[in-house]
Structure formats: C-alpha cells, structure tokens
Amino acid sequence: MIIVLKPEATQEQIDHILNDIKRLELKPHVSVGAARTIIGVIGPEDVIRTVPVEAYPGVENVLPILKPFKLVGREFKPDDSIVDVRGVRIGGGTFTIVAGPCSVESRELTLRIAESVHSLGAKILRGGAFKPRTSPYSFQGLGEEGLKYLAEAGERTGMPVVTELMDPRHAALFDKYADMIQIGARNMSNFTLLKEAGRMQKPVLLKRGMMSTIKEFLLSAEYICSEGNMNVVLCERGIRTFETETRNTLDISAVPVIKQLSHLPVFVDPSHAAGRDDIIESLALAAVAAGADGIMVEVHPEPEHAKSDGEQALLPEQFAEMVRKVRAVAKAVGRTV
Amino acid sequence: MIIVLKPEATQEQIDHILNDIKRLELKPHVSVGAARTIIGVIGPEDVIRTVPVEAYPGVENVLPILKPFKLVGREFKPDDSIVDVRGVRIGGGTFTIVAGPCSVESRELTLRIAESVHSLGAKILRGGAFKPRTSPYSFQGLGEEGLKYLAEAGERTGMPVVTELMDPRHAALFDKYADMIQIGARNMSNFTLLKEAGRMQKPVLLKRGMMSTIKEFLLSAEYICSEGNMNVVLCERGIRTFETETRNTLDISAVPVIKQLSHLPVFVDPSHAAGRDDIIESLALAAVAAGADGIMVEVHPEPEHAKSDGEQALLPEQFAEMVRKVRAVAKAVGRTV
Amino acid sequence: MIIVLKPEATQEQIDHILNDIKRLELKPHVSVGAARTIIGVIGPEDVIRTVPVEAYPGVENVLPILKPFKLVGREFKPDDSIVDVRGVRIGGGTFTIVAGPCSVESRELTLRIAESVHSLGAKILRGGAFKPRTSPYSFQGLGEEGLKYLAEAGERTGMPVVTELMDPRHAALFDKYADMIQIGARNMSNFTLLKEAGRMQKPVLLKRGMMSTIKEFLLSAEYICSEGNMNVVLCERGIRTFETETRNTLDISAVPVIKQLSHLPVFVDPSHAAGRDDIIESLALAAVAAGADGIMVEVHPEPEHAKSDGEQALLPEQFAEMVRKVRAVAKAVGRTV
Amino acid sequence: MIIVLKPEATQEQIDHILNDIKRLELKPHVSVGAARTIIGVIGPEDVIRTVPVEAYPGVENVLPILKPFKLVGREFKPDDSIVDVRGVRIGGGTFTIVAGPCSVESRELTLRIAESVHSLGAKILRGGAFKPRTSPYSFQGLGEEGLKYLAEAGERTGMPVVTELMDPRHAALFDKYADMIQIGARNMSNFTLLKEAGRMQKPVLLKRGMMSTIKEFLLSAEYICSEGNMNVVLCERGIRTFETETRNTLDISAVPVIKQLSHLPVFVDPSHAAGRDDIIESLALAAVAAGADGIMVEVHPEPEHAKSDGEQALLPEQFAEMVRKVRAVAKAVGRTV
C-alpha cells in the first residue's frame, strides 16, 4: 500500500500514521519527494486494509498494491478450476450450454422446453421458481411447485437443473430440488445470501450485478468460497450504462479479464444482456470467441405468452440455429461443445 | 400503451396482437401512418403490463403511457406524507438530521457519539450492527450486541434509532431494538427483504441502489407499501458513474424529481455519496437548498480508528459547523431544522 | 409522435397544441383515456421534430415513433453498403484488418511497421500525424511530416492509408495524403468537422464517441452523408462506464444493433476499447464472431518506446497470432479475411 | 510514480525498466515485498508521463502520484482567481447570473429577453448564434447575423455577452462580437478549438463534457491556459449516466471538488443538466449552496415556440422567482449576487 501525503502534511501527522502502522507490526517506508512525501507499507495487505488510512489527517490519497481477493485469484490457484454439476463438467476446454424458460410456468411447458433444448444440445436446464421482479405486481413465480416441475423435467431429460435462490430461508428447499444454485444479479451484493450459498453443498452460478465492477464481482465469489464452497461459476450478464438500445451492455471484455484474474469458469448470459431476442445469437458467438466456458440462454416456444422476459426468449428453432453456429466457432477456437 | 409495429408487419401479425388484447378485455385502437402502423391500448395499465408485448412477431417497440407505481405516486395521494419515527416527524416543512457512527463499534463510543450529535442538533441516531461489506475479510459488525448498544444510546439521549436490516430472519430482533428499519443501497432490489420490511410495524428508510433509476427506486418503495407499510422515507445516496473523484455521484436532481412523482419524504446521505469528508458540508447544504426533507451523516471522533468508512466520517466539530450552516440555508428556503 | 398530457391539462392547453400542430399541416388525433389524454401526430417526423412539444403547457411526455436518421438507415437503403478505399472493399462478406502504429513517430519506424502488418494480412495502414491528447504536455504528433511518411509507407506496401483529421483547416492537406479520413471518438460530436468531412471526396472512418448512444452515432454519420458523402464506415471503440479494468467497455452489442438499423459497414477497434494489449485478441475474435466487417488495431515493435498508447499496442508476433485466429473464426461464420 | 511489477517479472525485465528510467535522469527506488516488487520513481512527473510505463514487459500496474495539470491547479496558484468579463467580475465571493435564450432567433426577441433578464438580475447575456445540434436537420443558428443581434442586445442593456464558438475559423468573427467565448460540452475535447480559444484575448467559459472526468475537464482548461489565456471559467452542466428522468445528471459534487483542485471560478448550468424547466430552480439553489460562483440559465418568453431547447427554458416569471430565492440562499452562505 502506498500512502500519498498532502503537500502541507506536518511531521506530527506523519508520525501519527507511522506509529499506528508500526503498532500493526507492518513496515512503513518513507520517501520524501520534491512535491509530495509518500509512505510505502509492506506487509500482509489484509491487515493493512483494516485501517482506514484515507481518514488520517494529512493523507491525500491511498494506492493499494495487492488484489483484494485471495481464494478466487490466480495467485492462489494458477490452474483453471473445473466445476462439476451432477456429472456435467464446466470449464477446462469444453463449452457448456445452459437453457430453459425464464420462469417455470407449468409442468407441461417446462417438460416440453426441457426436452426441446436437451435434444438440441443443452447440457443443463435453467428455470426460475422464485422470480425477482422490479414491480410487486408482476408474476412472482410458482414457488416450491415450480421447483418440483423443474426437478422432474431435469430428471426426465437427464439434465442437472439450475434455479435462482432469493431467500436464505429457502436453503433446505433448494438443497432438495436444485443441482446448482443461481445467485441473481440483483443479489450479487446480498452478502447474507452469499454466505448461505457458501454453506450449501451445491455448485453456485453467480451472476454479476449490473452495477458491479469486476473486482466486486470476484469479492462476492470470495464470500462464497470463504465459507468453504469453491464450486463457483461466474456469469457476465451485462452492466448498466447510458445506452438504451439494449437492456444492459454486455461487457465482453470481462471474459478475458476475469480469466486472467481468476481460476473460476466464466459464463455469459446473452439473453439478459440483450433484453431482445434478435441479437442473442451474435452475443453468444462473441462469448465463445472471447473465451467463455459456456452460455445461459432463455428459450420459450411462445415468447408472446411467456410470464416473464418474453421479449428476450429464443424460439426453439432460433436456439437450434444458434447452437449450430456456436459449435462452428467453438471448433475454430479449439473447444468442444 | 402504444405499440409501434415494424414497417414489414403483416396483417396476420397485427390480428394476432389485436385478438390477444381483446381477450384481456382491453380496447386496441389502430392508426395507420405512412411509415408505421401503431396500436394504442386503452385500459388498466397493470393488466396490460402482464403481456410481453415486445415479444409479439411484428412489434418494433412498445411505449408505456402510465407510471409503473401506484401507492407511492402523487396521483394516488397528492399531499406530502409525514412519517413519524417514535415522535420525530419527517417531512412537511421540517428538515431532519440523522447522525451517528457508520458501525456500532463499542458501547462507550456509541454513547459518546450519540450524546455529541444529539447536543448539536441531530434528531435520530444512526449506527450499523450488521454491516454489508464488499470484502468477506472486513469488519462485519457486532450483531445483536451492537443493536443493544445502539438502543441504549438512543434511550439515553431520547433519540429514536435507525439501523440496517440485512437478513429477513432478523425481523423479530430488529422489531425489538430499532425504531426505524434501514434498507441499504445494496439491498434495494432484494425483494425478499423489502417484503419483510413491508410486514414490519416500523417506518423504513429505503436507500437508493447505486445503479438504480428513480423509477426502480419508487418501485422498491412500492414493494414495501404494497405489504401494508406506508411509512417509507426515500434516501438518495449517490449513483455509480464514471467519475472517480467521489465514491458515488450524488444525484441532487433526484430530490425535486421524486418530490414531483411521489408523496414520500426524501432524504440525502452526503457521506456515502462523497466517500470523503471534505465535501460533505457542501453536499448537505445543496440537499437543503434542493428541497430534501433531511440528511443522514456519519460522525466519528477519531475517523482514522473507525472500523468502517472512516474516510467519510465528520469530526464532531465539522458536524457542528455543518449544522450551523444547514440551519441558515434551511431558514432561507423557509424550513425549520 | 405521441404526446402524453398531464392529468390536469386543460382544454385550453390542448387546443393550443392542436392549433399549432394543424398550422404545420400535420394531423393530430386525440384519444381520451381514463387517466391520461394522448395526442397522436401523423405526418413527416422531421417537420414534427422542429416543434419543442415538451415545452407546451400541459404536456407530460413526448414519445417519438420514427427513427431520427434517414440516409444512414436501413429503411432508406435496405442492402449493405460497400465502401471502397482505394481498391480495398469494406463490407459485403469480407473482413478487413486495418493496422499500424498509434502515432507516426518516424519515417523508418512507419515503413517497418507497414511492411510487417502488410505481410501478416493487414489491408489498410493506420497512423496518426495529428494526435488528440488529453494533456497539452503529451506528444501532439509530427503534423504534415507525419502525413508524408504515412503516405510513403502506404505507397511502398500498396496499402491505402487512414489517418485522423482534427482541424477543419487541414482538409486540403488530408486530401493530398490520406486515402480515408478518420474522425476520432472525441470529435464524434464536432459537427463543424463532420460537415467538412462530408464535403471531402474521401471515405470516412467515423469512431463512436465514448459516451454517445448508438442513435447519436448514427446521427453523426448522417451529418457526413447529408453533405453528399455516403462512404462512411462506423467504428465501435468502447464506451465509458464505471468499470476500470479496461480503458473503455467494448459495446459488442453495438455491432448487431447497428447492422439492423443501418446499411453502413461496422468496424471494431479493440485496442482503444481495451487500453491494454493482453485482451485485444479476445476482443478481436468477439468482433468477427458478432458480425463486424473489420477491425482496426495498433501494432508497434517496441511498445515501451511508443510515443502514445504503448500499453495497448500489439507486438508484430502477437498481431500475427491474432490474425491467424481471426481467419479461423471468420471462416467458421462464413466470411473471408 | 509507482510501478507495480507482476509476481513473475524477471530481473532482466526490471533492469530494462531501471535503465530507461535512469536514461531520463530520474531516480528509481526499488522495494521488494513478499508478493510484489515495486519501483518508485522520483522526479518531474511530466517527464515521467512521456514514458508508456504500462507497456514494459513485467509491469502489472502504474500508479501516478502527482496531478496531471499545473497552471489550473491550486498548487500553482493557491488563491481564487477572479475573471473579468468586460467589467463583470466572476469569482471572489460574488454569485453571477448569466441568462438569455438558447439560440438567438431574431433581433426583436433577443432584445426583449435581454431587457427582461437584465432587469431581473442577470449580469451577462447568453445566446447561441452557431448551434451544435445532434441532428443535421435541426435549426443550426443564425450565424454572423445572430452574433450581431446578440452584441446589440448586450450593448443596449449594458451586459457583456457570451456565445459558443464551434469552428476555429471563426476566431476573428467572435473577437469582434463576443465578450466571452463559450466552449460547449461537445467540444470540451476538441483540442484544436481549445488551443484557438487559448490564443484569443477573451475570457473563456468552458463547459464540462458529458463524458468527461473532472481531471480531464481540468486538463482541457490547461490547454487554454497553456496558450497564455488564464481567464477561464469552468462550467458543470451534467454528466451522462443511466438515469433518464433528467437529460443529464448534475454532478453537484464537482463544485466543491474543483474548488479544492483549482483556483478557477466554477459555474453551474442547471438548464442543460435538467433538460426540463420544472427542476431548474432546485438545481440553481443547490448550486449556490454548494459553493458555485454563478449559474447560466436559459430564458424564453414562449418556450413552446423556441427554435431549440424550449423544454428547458424558464419563463421570465419563473426566472424572477428563481433569482429571488437564489439571493436568499446566497445571503445565507455569505455571498452577494
């Protein structure tokens, strides 16, 4: 950590800082320049971080040197992690397609979509039983009944299922029905929920908050890992910007950036990034090309009658066409679907 | 709602839409222009909103006419709401100062800060016992012990207390110790928590998410109100932008904009917006001048030893000076502190 | 255009609006709903746009129906445009690589880089002679001398050259040396310069401003086209967001979105989007996969001695490797490099 | 400047960096930590900035210590600057109101508005003769004719006039008619224009680009000052964010932040920040309270017939009411209008 002092910082202020640093058994190193005095602090950055150095009188700026996360970092584990979701291995050179409806709407429809996407190449089934909706007057999901239908559809097609956990009090329920726990974008900084997910014995699909930096995203994954659950898949799903042509702006750079910082697998959700069905295929292909380990997409046979997010659902035939092209690009970059 | 069709939309596609609209007992009205056909839909917008109109084949764009919220809107209740927090009335021409430490760190310090801010003009005491921290390795709060210290400090000084609820399982605990429930910025879209807060019999201080629009902010308040709790105070605390000189960008325009859209009181939190102590006074004065009903600020006698957010805490003497100026500006705009 | 009136709008206010609309020879159509009265206006949207309808007393909101641009739109010209840059055809199923140094630094280095990128697959040579730099103390380019070196390098390798115009007074100079005129991101809304470029007889590479919407980007292209120059190539180069791991956030969705709205070719500049060399390859591959017509990248044999943007320059060997992979992905999506 | 090396940086890479630093006659200082080696570089930061240190093999990150601007900084000139605009002194404890129409539309209307705002308290007259419009089909201003009308209105009322320069070729024209040169937000990074303004003998009103950080804003002012013209007034006018209730988001924090970093006067333009007339008064009051040296607002007697920006123009009676309140708040914070 580098502490930059104000030009007018007094010796007394400097000594106050140095004393407190030494009390923490850290080593300060002072450099006096023409315009500024700076203090370098050597030692474990996690100890240093407990001190609000910006708050000391005389301090102008504080520059961290080390990364704020550990367990999820490449320095902790240099090799790519592979996450096993009831037999489906995510990461390590394969490209995995997760597909299904936005919401579980009925038993029949869920089975029908599951069979369709499975036959077309999906390896994991998605579907929401508890839905985070911006308005309290929108469809909120079927609840436990929805979990049952999803689990049944997964069993019938042989696909593991992933579904979103919104309430820490539902942990036991999800343990029973889900193979993978999804933490949604709106809950990426719901630390209560992250800790609960960390204590469950299931792999977690963590979506990036639309307002979150990559560093914060990795720190949220660190919350899960620090509870003992290292089976985390990160999912980029678009960030919020000023552009309104798309619901969010897919941050495709996040894929290679996270790959450098972390050993965890990285997915892309082109459906939520786009918020419209007509550019999902392009974004899915970009995800494969940029190095993602998989995608998650929404499929519905009648989008105009979907109870949520119909405008971004692919028809089964659009999904089929997308998978065909995804395979071609995956092959071109040396990966298997 | 106005449905804009693509230039190439077929009559069959138009009929498909019209049939479904009529089935919902809504009245469509078709206008054929030179470049586009548009369909106006008249009827209750909440019914219309259940239909994913964008997902119909042939649709280019959908333009909503009505606002998506009800209970929190001026059209539902034209007069300003006043929220009573154990005797302290928020809104209606007064300007209320909430102050206290970021975290409850110890019994002694909490008492000391409470007495200090009370004597200087604060009407409500703030302090976090459960802390949402970006890193799992940062101080996470004293928990129930912290709630006790805060309640004691409130009692000793005669101030009601506000503190952040992070876990829906803590509702009973907060019912016991807190006078006002804070929902933090990171949980503004944690709908599970919003519903829980709506079922509690306490007023709620709802902070705006750092990347939430004003409309989404009001919809989160609607979640609370729709559970039967209309005692909600909205708090602007800065949004995330590209600017890095401040932790967040205080959206001062949100104050007059929300005042027009909603009857609920509006607060400003200059401490979290700034993320640095040296501009808090300026932002507090701007808040009064722009029409806010109150501010919430962090105060600490030794910011450099604070366990969280020390860099943005005011010293008691800075707080005193700020209150003095806030009173002068409040008077100039015809309000009482 | 749809005009939404306030609930309290008076008949007098409505008549004032209707009269002014009729005076423009447009047809208003009034619909009275339970909550709002709305006025639909049919007629040429460019005439309607000259009226500041939001400013009329009683108006709550105005919703445009038609797109604000014409010449650059798909409705004006449904087929993809092909832009010819001295024999190199951009668009129409090919994928074009533009490469070269950020700045023209010397005659020798420019020749050396030109020969290198040409032999590795680049079709057009880039290089800046006049440089837009955030600080007045940074290297500002070699000026006319730089243009000469660039033109010579283009001639020696047989590649057309593209270089950035910053000053409308340089039009004649650029006419002499450049084959394609680049308008940089910082000047995307410099309408004086756009008009000047529109009057030149050269194809234009227009870069998207870092905080410009896609609609504004297309309107800037419209400025050029409306002066009679339809040879415009649009270049997405990243937008400014809150994320700081990359210099800008590449808006990869802009590629398919612009392809739907406009007939003009679309390029991607992964170098400026990333601001770091280590993820440029991933972004370039994403660009091909997403449907871009080409990329523009910066190459330098000794990035650490470059006079500008060294941190984002590719070494010739990195460039070679990138081109190899770009060819593979291009083939997978049915295009030729 | 602090250079953070990658954990795997080799001694050879470190020596390469050290040699180049020494060649610039700067002093490097190496600290070897457990996790990272860092190099501190002492010496004139402007020399160091010419080196693209991020581009050296082995470098992970570079942390600047000093501020990138000089002439505009408080360290260069600790006392507040006062800018004299033909007898009107901006800065130094007064609060100055600039008002007028968005565009100069006709001689009569300009005179009428000038007389009106002058009688109500405005000290400087604004009005655009050359207008930067997003669409090439919108009203582009009256040109030289508009400059004449504006100058005449200024003369008749005794107010100096400020108007926007868009084209460097118009410098002589503006020298003749304008008392203060405005550089608009869209041209804040048009360095050609900034240099031209720096060479003129007139004070400059520089508006912040909607995509620009405060540091970049100050660097643009530095461009003007470095040409010898220190009479610059900075104007915050809103930045672009995801919020759509207002045209831009007024960054009110920019006022106290710039006041700390720079000695130049700071204005606020609430009209362009809001993009709607109904919250301009609130923003103007916030500006006074936060410490701005003045505001610039748009006034029009018939906003619905204005040729540009009618939706954000104040009626003369709204302007009068705003000035009355501005005076009260200014008095409360110890300033004179």
Give the model confidence (pLDDT) of A193-221 as tens digits. Answer: 999 999 998 999 999 999 999 999 999 99
At residue D29, the pLDDT reads 86
Report residue D278 as tokens. Answer: 């109904």
CB contact under 8 A, B223 and A136: yes
Residue A66's pLDDT band, with cuts at 50, 70 and 90, is confident
At residue D159, the pLDDT reads 98
* Chain D residues touching residue B242 (CB < 8 angstroms): 211, 213, 239
CB contact under 8 A, D29 and A31: yes
At residue B1, the pLDDT reads 81
What percentage of chain C carries pLDDT values higher than 90?
78
More confident call, B31 vs D187:
D187
More confident call, A79 vs B52:
A79
The overall average pLDDT reported for chain B is 94
Among candidates A65, A75, A241 on the partner chain, residue whose Cβ is nearest the Cβ of D4: A65
R_g of chain B computed on alpha carbons:
23
- Chain C closest-CA separation from residue D44 CA (Å): 13
CB contact under 8 A, B63 and C29: no
* Probe site for chain A from B15, B190, B206 (most A CB atoms < 10 A): B190
Distance CA(A248)–CA(A270), nearest Å, equals 10
- Chain A closest-CA separation from residue D43 CA (Å): 8
The overall average pLDDT reported for chain C is 94
pLDDT digits (tens, 9 = 90+) for D115-157: 999 999 999 999 999 999 988 888 899 999 999 999 999 999 9
Among candidates B29, B33, B65 on the partner chain, residue whose Cβ is nearest the Cβ of C42: B33
Question: Which chains does B contact via 3+ CB–CB distances below 8 A?
Answer: A, C, D
ipTM of the complex: 0.94
* Mean pLDDT score, C63-88: 92
pLDDT at C49 over 80: no
- Chain D closest-CA separation from residue A215 CA (Å): 15
Among candidates A69, A191, A310 on the partner chain, residue whose Cβ is nearest the Cβ of B52: A310
- Chain C closest-CA separation from residue D192 CA (Å): 6
**Closest among A100, A101, A98, A99 to A306, alpha carbons compared:** A101
pLDDT digits (tens, 9 = 90+) for D255-275: 999 999 999 999 999 999 999
Distance CA(D332)–CA(B289), nearest Å, equals 11
* Mean pLDDT score, B103-129: 97
The answer to whether residue B257 neighbours chain C at the CB level (below 8 Å) is: no
The answer to whether residue C168 neighbours chain D at the CB level (below 8 Å) is: yes
The answer to whether residue C313 neighbours chain D at the CB level (below 8 Å) is: yes
* Mean pLDDT score, D294-318: 93
- Residue D277 has φ and ψ, to the nearest 5°, of -75, -25
- Chain D closest-CA separation from residue B282 CA (Å): 4
pLDDT digits (tens, 9 = 90+) for D21-76: 888 888 888 888 777 888 888 777 667 777 778 889 999 888 887 788 999 999 89
Residues in contact with D66: Cβ distance below 8 Å, sequence separation at least 6, in sequence order: A35, A36, D45
Which segment of B59-68, B188-197, C242-251, D206-215 scores lowest on mean pLDDT?
B59-68
The answer to whether residue C271 neighbours chain D at the CB level (below 8 Å) is: no
Distance CA(A312)–CA(A304), nearest Å, equals 10
What's chain C look like in SS3? CEEEECCCCCHHHHHHHHHHHHHCCCEEEEEECCCCEEEEEECCHHHHCCCCHHHCCCEEEEECCCCCCCCCECCCCCCCCCEEECCEEECCCECEEEEECCECCCHHHHHHHHHHHHHHCCCEEECECCCCCCCCCCCCCCCHHHHHHHHHHHHHHCCCEEEECCCHHHHHHHHHHCCEEEECHHHCCCHHHHHHHHHCCCCEEEECCCCCCHHHHHHHHHHHHCCCCCCEEEEECCECCCCCCCCCECECCHHHHHHHHECCCEEECHHHHHCCHHHHHHHHHHHHHHCCCEEEEEECCCHHHCCCCHHHCECHHHHHHHHHHHHHHHHHCCCEC
DSSP notation for D5-20? EPTT--HHHHHHHHHH
Instruction: Give the Cβ contact number of residue B50 at 10 Å.
Output: 12
* Chain A residues touching residue B306 (CB < 8 angstroms): 52, 55
- Chain B closest-CA separation from residue A335 CA (Å): 33
R_g of chain D computed on alpha carbons:
23
Question: Which chains does D contact via 3+ CB–CB distances below 8 A?
Answer: A, B, C
User: In chain A, positions 10-29, which contact chain B (CB-CB < 8 Å)?
Assistant: 16, 20
Residues in contact with B305: Cβ distance below 8 Å, sequence separation at least 6, in sequence order: none
* Chain D residues touching residue C306 (CB < 8 angstroms): 52, 55
The answer to whether residue B326 neighbours chain D at the CB level (below 8 Å) is: no
pLDDT digits (tens, 9 = 90+) for A123-133: 999 999 999 99
Residue C52's pLDDT band, with cuts at 50, 70 and 90, is confident
Report residue D266 as tokens. Answer: 């700071």
Residue C37's pLDDT band, with cuts at 50, 70 and 90, is confident
The answer to whether residue B139 neighbours chain A at the CB level (below 8 Å) is: yes
CB contact under 8 A, A211 and B240: yes
First to last CA, chain A: 44
Among candidates C211, C244, C253 on the partner chain, residue whose Cβ is nearest the Cβ of A279: C253
pLDDT digits (tens, 9 = 90+) for C106-134: 999 999 999 999 999 999 999 999 999 88
CB contact under 8 A, A38 and D65: yes
Longest dimension (CA), chain D: 75
At residue B76, the pLDDT reads 93
* Mean pLDDT score, B282-299: 98
Among candidates C134, C192, C304 on the partner chain, residue whose Cβ is nearest the Cβ of D216: C134
Residue D197's pLDDT band, with cuts at 50, 70 and 90, is very high
The answer to whether residue D48 neighbours chain B at the CB level (below 8 Å) is: no
pLDDT at C58 over 70: yes
Instruction: Give the Cβ contact number of residue C201 at 10 Å.
Output: 8
At residue D45, the pLDDT reads 66
What single-letter amino acid sits at D70?
A: K
Question: Which chains does A contact via 3+ CB–CB distances below 8 A?
Answer: B, C, D
- Chain C closest-CA separation from residue B335 CA (Å): 28
* Mean pLDDT score, C158-173: 97
The answer to whether residue C275 neighbours chain B at the CB level (below 8 Å) is: no
* Mean pLDDT score, B168-176: 97
The answer to whether residue D255 neighbours chain B at the CB level (below 8 Å) is: yes
pLDDT digits (tens, 9 = 90+) for C212-227: 999 999 999 999 999 9
At residue A139, the pLDDT reads 87
* Chain A residues touching residue D2 (CB < 8 angstroms): 2, 38, 63, 65
SS3 of residue A232 by DSSP? strand
Distance CA(D75)–CA(B314), nearest Å, equals 25
* Chain A residues touching residue B272 (CB < 8 angstroms): none
**Closest among B295, B247, B290 to B267, alpha carbons compared:** B295
* Chain D residues touching residue C51 (CB < 8 angstroms): 304
The answer to whether residue C304 neighbours chain D at the CB level (below 8 Å) is: yes
pLDDT at A73 over 80: yes
CB contact under 8 A, B191 and A132: yes
The answer to whether residue B35 neighbours chain C at the CB level (below 8 Å) is: yes
Report residue D13 as tokens. Answer: 């890479």
Phi-psi region of B54 (alpha: psi -120 to 50; beta: other; left: phi over 0): alpha
Q: Nearest-5° angle of CA A232, CA A236, CA A238?
A: 155
Among candidates B242, B253, B288 on the partner chain, residue whose Cβ is nearest the Cβ of D246: B253
- Chain A closest-CA separation from residue B334 CA (Å): 35
Instruction: Give the Cβ contact number of residue B54 at 10 Å.
Output: 19
What percentage of chain A carries pLDDT values higher than 70?
99
- Chain D closest-CA separation from residue B111 CA (Å): 32
* Probe site for chain C from D5, D53, D135, D232 (most C CB atoms < 10 A): D135
Measured between CA atoms, the residue of chain C closest to residue D167 is C192
CB contact under 8 A, D285 and B283: no
At residue A270, the pLDDT reads 98
Instruction: Give the Cβ contact number of residue A169 at 10 Å.
Output: 13
pLDDT digits (tens, 9 = 90+) for A268-300: 999 999 999 999 999 999 999 999 999 999 999
pLDDT at D309 over 90: no
DSSP state of B239: B
pLDDT at A45 over 70: no
Are the beta carbons of D250 and D283 closer than 8 angstroms? yes
CB contact under 8 A, B33 and C65: yes
The answer to whether residue B172 neighbours chain A at the CB level (below 8 Å) is: no
pLDDT at B226 over 80: yes
pLDDT digits (tens, 9 = 90+) for C183-193: 999 999 999 99
Report residue B120 as tokens. Answer: 């200087």
The overall average pLDDT reported for chain A is 94
Are the beta carbons of C144 and C173 closer than 8 angstroms? yes
* Chain D residues touching residue B214 (CB < 8 angstroms): 243, 245
* Probe site for chain C from A217, A244, A282, A312 (most C CB atoms < 10 A): A282
pLDDT at C45 over 70: no
Burial of C78 (0-12, 13-18, 19+ CB in 10 A): exposed
